[in-house]
Structure 1
Amino acid sequence: MVGITGASGVGIGARLLDVLSSGGHTTHLVLSDAARHILELECTISEEELKARASACWDNDQLWAPIASGSYRIDAMVVAPCSMKSLSSIANGYADTLIARAADVCLKEGRTLVLVPRETPLSLVHLENMVRAARAGARILPACPAYYHHPTTVQQCIDFIVGRVLDVLGLEHQLYKRWHPPSEMLE
């Protein structure tokens, strides 16, 4: 399941959905209302084009969707980007949206939940919510690209973050060059 919430960086969730779908994975997509607006501002694809890449799409208020139940099996959930509002809901068990409820289900069922927070600077409240979510079982993967592979485009930075998400999910990819120290560092 891919949840895309209302933080800058919706291209991360869109790229993740692309990679998962093209890899033959069944995907469920949920966009928050704020994510819909940010998609228009930041991306060149429409909401309809994004939804066409998913196996199933749900509105964030459809709390009766199958992914809201622990009896419905999913392998993992990724919230990318994860707004601070969504982080707070997830960290504190306030499941008033489908994204928050599906995340709550992942935590209670011991399933993989990856949160990709996208905010800077971080307040103490944000940090405490990340710790609370991590203690509950979520993996916190901030949208912080590496630079050792010398990215020259925003897309390369997005691919690095999506690649790290795929690493956490245990999925193979070729989205970025992995770290290998120069030979002179090994001497």
Structure 2
Amino acid sequence: MKVEVVVIPVSDVDAAKTFYARLGWRLDATPPGVVQFTPQGSACSVQFGANLSHAVPGSAKGYLIVADLPTLRDALVAEDVAVSEIFHPGPDGPIDGPDPDRRSYFSRATFSDLDGNEWMLQEVTQRLPGRVDPGEVSFASNGDLASAMLRAETAHGEHERRTGEADANWPAWYAQFMANEQSGKPAPQ
């Protein structure tokens, strides 16, 4: 089973449609009375409509995973989306700024839609083991793929220094590195 759609409660369908379009999410074809948006690179969509939910508008909360939180935050601010400053968890509560070590899952920011449905942005560049099906490798955007390739390039350079020889099969090494990184496995040897 895979999660396909999450319904979010909104009070004004047209205003919500304008808001989610500003995020750059894809507006999907749907039956009448249903509005569906899919975030870039996501396999799961959000839907809303006049009669889709009995929940109180603004009562939903979700997480959005991003590869480069500062860049995405800047893009949302440029679209007039009110996004919190970036923060990371600390022992006594949130600490201002990204995680100093830029560890996956630690740097965060939040924003809400017009009704108050809250979205937590969480920077993830490497998944924890067991969090991703190792048979499915995908990237949310060209930028995410380019970032993964740069990390692979750096790691491959270290690999060649460690082995003391050039690796003519570097494309396969890069591919394995990027797949392993997404599924939380160690880099190839």
Q: Which structure would you say has the larger Rg?
A: 2
Q: Same fold (TM over 0.5)?
A: no
- Which structure has the highest helix share of the two? 1
| Higher-strand-fraction structure | 2
Q: TM-score, normalised by structure 1?
A: 0.29
**TM-score normalised by length of structure 2:** 0.29
